[in-house]
Amino acid sequence: MSSITITGSNFESEVLKSDIPVLIDFWAPWCGPCKMVGPVIDQIAAENTGKLKVGKINVDDEGALAEQHGITSIPTLVIYKDGKVAAQKSGAAPKNDIETFFKSYL
């Protein structure tokens, strides 16, 4: 499974009501570090099918959603578990750091 696009209209059903943890990547197409992290996020989505849902929120398209979640810099990764924010991490990071960030929530 690849990452899914999260929008204001599907945020509740895909993230808040998910029965498995959700990793969200807040990003923008013009953001250099986001472009570096993007393929890693897609790879993590494919490797964790059924254990972790992975979504991406384009902050240019979903500014209200980013603002609602207090996103002030990108890329920002957020883990949601049981409908609540469990952890948040800003900045580009290598794959092993991202995996360490979410593994304890699986």
Annotated catalytic residue within 22, 31, 44, 45: 31
Q: Does 38 qualify as catalytic in the annotation?
A: no
Q: Which one of 6, 15, 24, 34 is the catalytic residue?
A: 34
Active site residue 34: yes
- Dump the DSSP string for the chain: ---EE--TTTHIIIIIT-SS-EEEEEE-TT-HHHHHHHHHHHHHHHHTTTT-EEEEEETTT-HHHHHHTT--SSSEEEEEETTEEEEEEES---HHHHHHHHHTT-
Q: Which residues are catalytic?
A: 31, 34
